[in-house]
């Protein structure tokens, strides 16, 4: 099995705005190894959201190649990208993106429905992942009956349910108070220790410091790519 779960080679994403060509990303080359914990940082307009969309197979590059788990996703059509997103990528969003009329368990099981897994097996897998994020007692609750932290735990469980190649977290604590943010970062820490590859997109330095490697973007290019010498761990605080 290849050591790199992600390989970006000369990735660019250009947009036409009127007569102007906007280079949102320009010649990005980046490798992320299996079981790395990486933070993508940068100010507004740096290209980090564009890069996240490309990594998450929500967009395709103008030029360059992107290999995810050995698959060249930069050349795939929309249906193939949707399949890769469901099987290979677990998304955690700032706004949770939960279905309001579905229970927590139903939200968690949704990727398994798209994967064609039978109902009984979906329930078994969903219940186990809910237990992993300490929400066994909230499975039948709907999102409006849960706290912000519990909703984010449901979102994390949904991201994990298909055993994806990467977990992609976009500002995962952006809508949470500081105490709940620490709990969620602790949960991501635990998920990483289980062997998952985690990529956190954030503009917050204190969130990025939980990652083992920090990639900083500016004006569509990688400004710095360094190992984090001062990793903050939640377990060390407790």
Long-range contacts of 121-127 (CB under 8 A, 24+ apart): 125/161, 126/157, 126/161
Share of the chain above pLDDT 70, in %: 97
What is the reported pLDDT for 116? 86
Q: Does the CA dihedral 204-208-209-214 come out positive or negative?
A: negative
Statement: residue 217 has pLDDT above 90: yes
**Domain 4-98+164-237: assigned CATH number:** 3.40.50.300
Statement: residue 94 has pLDDT above 80: no
Statement: residue 83 has pLDDT above 80: yes
Statement: residue 78 has pLDDT above 60: yes
Q: What is the mean pLDDT of the chain?
A: 90
User: Beta strand 37-41 with 213-218: parallel, antiparallel or unpaired?
Assistant: parallel
Please give the backbone phi and psi of residue 184, each rounded to the nearest 5 degrees, phi first.
-70, -40
Average pLDDT over residues 217-229: 94
Q: Give CA–CA dist 47/62, Å, rounded.
A: 14
Statement: residue 9 has pLDDT above 50: yes
Q: Give CA–CA dist 210/201, Å, rounded.
A: 12
Average pLDDT over residues 81-91: 89
Give the start-to-end residue ranges of the domains of the chain. 4-98+164-237
Closest CA to 46 of 13, 72, 6: 13
163: left (phi over 0), alpha (psi -120 to 50) or beta: left
Average pLDDT over residues 177-192: 87
Give the Å distances, CA to CA, from 93 to 52, 154, 158, 172. Answer: 11, 11, 11, 6
Average pLDDT over residues 112-136: 90
Statement: residue 113 has pLDDT above 60: yes
Closest CA to 200 of 65, 42, 46: 42
What is the reported pLDDT for 238? 45
What is the reported pLDDT for 95? 78
Q: For residues 104 and 142, is the Cβ–Cβ distance under 8 A? A: yes
Within 8 A by CB and 6+ apart from 234, the residues are 182, 183, 185, 186, 189, 210
Q: Give CA–CA dist 41/139, Å, rounded.
A: 34
Sheet of strand 213-218: strand arrangement? 89-92, 166-170, 197-201, 37-41, 213-218, 221-227
- pTM for the full predicted model: 0.89
* pLDDT tens sequence across 18-49: 899 889 999 999 999 999 999 999 988 899 98
What is the reported pLDDT for 1? 55
Least confident of 61-70, 140-149, 181-190: 181-190
Residue 58: exposure state from Cβ atoms within 10 A (0-12, 13-18, ≥19): middle
Q: Give CA–CA dist 172/19, Å, rounded.
A: 36
- Which of the given ranges, 102-106, 169-173, 184-188, has the highest pLDDT on average? 102-106
More confident residue, 175 or 229: 229
């Amino acid at each position: 099995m290849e050591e790199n779960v992600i390989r970006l080679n000369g990735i660019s994403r250009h947009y036409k705005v009127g007569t102007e060509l906007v280079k949102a990303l320009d010649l990005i080359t980046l490798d992320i190894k299996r079981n790395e914990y990486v933070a993508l940082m940068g100010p507004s307009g740096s290209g980090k959201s564009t890069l996240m969309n490309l990594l998450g197979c929500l967009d395709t590059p103008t030029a360059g190649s992107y290999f995810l788990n050995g698959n060249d996703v930069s050349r795939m059509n929309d249906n193939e990208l949707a399949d890769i997103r469901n099987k290979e990528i677990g998304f955690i969003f700032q706004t949770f993106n939960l279905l309001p009329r579905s229970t927590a368990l139903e939200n968690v099981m949704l990727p398994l429905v798209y994967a064609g897994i039978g109902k009984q097996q979906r329930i078994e897998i969903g219940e186990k992942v809910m237990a992993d994020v300490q929400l066994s007692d909230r499975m039948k609750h709907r999102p409006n009956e849960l706290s912000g932290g519990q909703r984010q735990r449901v979102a994390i469980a949904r991201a994990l349910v298909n055993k994806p190649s990467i977990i992609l977290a976009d500002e995962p604590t952006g809508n949470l108070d500081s105490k709940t943010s620490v709990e969620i970062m602790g949960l991501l820490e635990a998920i990483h220790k289980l062997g998952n590859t985690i990529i956190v997109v954030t503009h917050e330095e204190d969130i990025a410091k939980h990652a083992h490697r920090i990639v900083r973007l500016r004006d569509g290019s990688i400004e710095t790519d360094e190992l984090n010498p001062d990793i903050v761990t939640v377990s060390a605080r407790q």
